[in-house]
């Protein structure tokens, strides 16, 4: 299917008269001789023509700053891209006043759009919202599955942007359609365009999402552990969980068997009072028992003196103090006997009293000890309400610690398991991708040879198209040895895009390739001429359409092969100017 016409409902639109054919098609922009030096051919509308193609094929322009389709001068315009091929003519139209509605006319009917659930049919016309347009369009242009469940898969808009590259950043790499394209999308789209299996790129992107989730989970786990006092291994967390679970069971048992004693404080006070009384009685007995021992020693040492001892003492006293000794020896003996008798009676009475006191206190101590044992037994079997509340508080705290530990342990287990699973899945995916790539070796060889041949036409040394399986998905590259042209990067894109059109296709695939003028910026005139001639020859040979937009000043007229200038001029379908009504829209916006 090729682009036949690009039109608008306003007669001033200069593209209305252009009819595009199979083979080479040129949109030539000319600068008026009277133009000022600051003016360029960029204002002629070449890029606008490509923007219209994208606009009519579902591009989202809502966020485009300075979007031309939002200009008030175009408020009532409707643009149409008409495609033809395989006995079918299909027109895609879109108004500037209603940018969310796509209008499709098919002859014969297009089942992809007719059968789409949200499509509306009126006579030979189908309308569908722009947001829903891409799915049936992907099936119509590329045989993509409608409503595919896989998120990371090639989409219509991304694939189309390789065949109609728009903007300078679309030529930065052969494998990317813009500078903002996601790596996974670049891999998946390139795989599809090369006839490889894009599922591997999607699967690796899904695994990358899983890896990102594991990294985020690891970061959160490490943050929580740092705030809790340090990072812990899975093994240490398991030990902590085991210990806390045991503590919880013990505390649960203690709570279940706990008996709350009413007036616990009174019992506690009674036990304290009994203890004090027992201690006082014991202390009193110790003092009295010491006195008993003393009196018993005194009784044993108290004996009567002999008459000889008294006489000797008196004799000595008489010698020393004869004037003071007036009593007779008999009087002294009687006085001494009285003193000894009185002292013995006192000791006996005191011993009896002390022993009786000790016995009474021992009896009291025994009774008080029994009373205290009973009170302490009651206290041991029960507890105060405050103790029960404290036990509950500690149990609640242990449960909280256990919950945190189990959560951390579960997270660590999930991380460890996820990492192991991720390694297995990546190895498995890579193994399947390598097998699939080997099975497509003939197609791979064809792509490499075509790129090689295309680059060899432009440069002395052939270029290489490289693609292989990596842990992160497909890895692509292009190399052109000893190519010294400043525009060699753009020519890599050219050779690659041309190769995409040269590859044999089994399913539906657009038969048009559109290049804007930036593809030739910085390219040597000889390489530029060879590229244009190569595109013209291959598009004519294989029956596809090559549309190129170029400034007249950039056409390598003197470098064309003999006779090709005539073919080039015959391929000019649309001439534009940056002056007055010579631009694409018929006026300057």
Cα(541)–Cα(525) distance, integer angstroms:
24
Encode pLDDT of 292-338 as tens digits. 888 878 767 665 555 566 566 666 665 554 555 455 656 666 777 78
- Confidence bin at 5 (pLDDT 50/70/90): very high
For residue 574, what pLDDT is reported?
95
**Rounded Cα gap, residues 406 and 534, in angstroms:** 68
Determine the pLDDT at residue 321. 45
Cα-based distances in Å from 194 to 153, 166, 167, 444, 494: 15, 20, 23, 8, 15
Q: How confident is the model at residue 136 (pLDDT cuts 50, 70, 90)?
A: very high
27 φ, ψ (degrees, to nearest 5): -105, 110
Residue 90: which region, alpha, beta or left (left: phi > 0; alpha: psi -120 to 50)?
beta
Q: Is 136:119 a contact under the CB 8 Å cutoff?
A: yes
This model's pTM is above 0.75: no
What is the spatial distance between Cα 194 and Cα 184, in angstroms, rounded to a whole number? 15
Distance (Å, rounded) from C-alpha 458 to C-alpha 288? 128
What is residue 115's predicted lDDT score, i.e. its pLDDT? 85
pLDDT computed for residue 557 by the predictor: 95
487 confidence band (pLDDT: 50, 70, 90): confident
CA–CA dist 347, 294 (Å, integer): 10
Domain 2-196+484-582: state its class. alpha beta
Instruction: Give CA angle at 220 (218, 225), nearest 5°.
Output: 95
> Which of 442-456, 476-490, 569-583 comes out lowest in average pLDDT?
476-490
* 479 or 101, higher pLDDT: 101
Residues 467, 452: Cα–Cα separation, whole Å: 14
The share of the chain scoring above pLDDT 70, in percent, equals 86
Q: Please state whether beta strands 512-515 and 78-85 pair in parallel, antiparallel, or not at all (unpaired).
A: unpaired
Cα(491)–Cα(513) distance, integer angstroms: 15
Number of H helices, E strands in the chain: 15, 12
| Angle at the Cα of 513 from the Cα atoms of 181 and 65, rounded to 5 degrees | 45
Q: What is the pLDDT of residue 318?
A: 59
CA distance 535 to 512: 12
CA-to-CA dists, residue 324 to 311, 315, 330, 565, angstroms: 16, 13, 17, 175
- pLDDT category of residue 131 using cuts at 50, 70 and 90: very high
- What percent of the chain has a predicted confidence (pLDDT) above 90? 36
- What's the confidence (pLDDT) of residue 160? 96
Helix (H, G, I), strand (E, B) or coil at 90: strand
Q: Specify which residues 468 forms β-bridges with.
A: 475
Longest CA pairwise span in the chain (Å): 182
* Residue 371 contacts residue 275 (beta carbons within 8 Å): no
Q: Quote the pLDDT of residue 53.
A: 96
For 515-549, what is each residue's pLDDT tens digit? 999 999 989 999 999 999 999 999 999 999 999 99
Report the alpha-carbon distance of residue 296 to residue 301 in Å, rounded: 9
Q: Which residue has the higher pLDDT, 359 or 267?
A: 359
Q: What is the DSSP letter of 115?
A: T
H helix runs in 321-466, sequence order: 329-381, 385-439, 441-458
pLDDT digits (tens, 9 = 90+) for 19-41: 999 999 999 998 765 544 444 44
Supply angle C-alpha 200, 203, 206, rounded to 5: 155
Q: What is the pLDDT of residue 152?
A: 83
Which residues are 464's β-sheet partners?
A: 479
Mean residue pLDDT of the chain comes to 84
DSSP of 493-559 = HHHHHHHHHHS--SS----EEEE-GGGGTT--HHHHHHHHHHHHHHHHHHT-EEEEEEEGGG--GGG
């Amino acid at each position: 299917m090729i682009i036949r016409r690009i039109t608008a409902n306003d007669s001033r639109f200069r593209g209305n008269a252009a009819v595009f054919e199979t083979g080479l098609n040129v949109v030539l922009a000319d600068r008026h001789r009277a133009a000022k030096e600051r003016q360029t051919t960029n204002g002629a509308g070449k890029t606008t023509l490509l923007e219209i193609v994208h606009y009519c094929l579902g591009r989202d322009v809502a966020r485009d700053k300075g979007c031309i389709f939002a200009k008030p001068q175009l408020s009532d315009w409707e643009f149409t891209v008409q495609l033809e091929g395989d006995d079918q003519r299909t027109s895609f139209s879109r108004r500037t006043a209603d940018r969310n509605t796509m209008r499709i006319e098919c002859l014969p009917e297009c089942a992809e759009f007719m059968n789409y659930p949200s499509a509306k049919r009126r006579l030979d016309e189908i309308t569908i919202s722009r947001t829903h347009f891409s799915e049936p369009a992907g099936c119509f242009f590329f045989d993509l599955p409608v409503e595919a469940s896989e998120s990371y898969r090639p989409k219509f808009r991304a694939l189309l942007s390789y065949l109609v590259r728009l903007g300078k950043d679309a030529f930065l790499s052969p494998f990317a359609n813009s500078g903002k394209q996601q790596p996974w999308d670049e891999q998946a789209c390139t795989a599809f365009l090369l006839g490889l299996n894009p599922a591997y790129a999607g699967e690796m992107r899904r695994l990358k999402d899983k890896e990102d989730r594991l990294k985020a989970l690891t970061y959160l786990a490490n943050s929580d552990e740092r705030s809790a006092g340090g990072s812990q291994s899975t093994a240490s967390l398991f030990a902590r969980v085991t210990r806390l679970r045991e503590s919880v069971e013990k505390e649960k048992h203690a709570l279940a068997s706990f008996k709350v004693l009413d007036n616990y404080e009174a019992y506690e006070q009674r036990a304290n009072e009994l203890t004090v009384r027992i201690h006082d009685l014991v202390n009193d007995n110790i003092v009295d028992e010491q006195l008993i021992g003393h009196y018993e020693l005194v009784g044993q040492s108290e004996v009567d003196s002999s008459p000889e001892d008294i006489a000797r003492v008196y004799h000595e006293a008489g010698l020393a103090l004869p004037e003071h000794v007036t009593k007779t020896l008999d009087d002294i003996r009687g006085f001494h006997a009285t003193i000894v008798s009185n002292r013995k009676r006192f000791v006996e009475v005191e011993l009896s009293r002390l022993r009786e006191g000790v016995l009474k206190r021992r009896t009291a101590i025994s009774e008080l000890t029994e009373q205290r044992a009973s009170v302490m037994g009651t206290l041991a079997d029960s507890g105060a309400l405050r103790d029960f509340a404290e036990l509950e508080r500690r149990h609640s705290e242990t449960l909280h610690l256990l919950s945190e530990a189990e959560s951390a342990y579960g997270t660590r287990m999930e991380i460890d398991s996820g990492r192991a699973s991720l390694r297995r899945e990546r190895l498995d995916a890579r193994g399947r991708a390598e097998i699939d790539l080997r099975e497509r070796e003939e197609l791979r060889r064809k792509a490499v040879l075509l790129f090689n041949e295309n680059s060899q036409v432009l440069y002395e040394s052939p270029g290489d198209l490289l693609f292989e399986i990596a842990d992160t998905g497909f890895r692509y590259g292009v190399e052109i040895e000893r190519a010294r042209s400043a525009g060699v990067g753009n020519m890599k894109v050219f050779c690659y895009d041309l190769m995409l059109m040269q590859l044999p296709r089994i399913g539906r695939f657009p038969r048009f390739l559109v290049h804007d003028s930036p593809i030739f910026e910085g390219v040597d005139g000889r390489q530029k001429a060879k590229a244009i001639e190569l595109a013209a020859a291959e598009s004519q040979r294989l029956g596809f359409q090559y549309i190129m937009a170029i400034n007249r000043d950039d056409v390598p007229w003197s470098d064309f092969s003999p006779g090709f200038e005539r073919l080039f001029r015959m391929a000019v379908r649309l001439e534009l100017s940056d002056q007055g009504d010579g631009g694409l829209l018929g006026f300057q916006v």
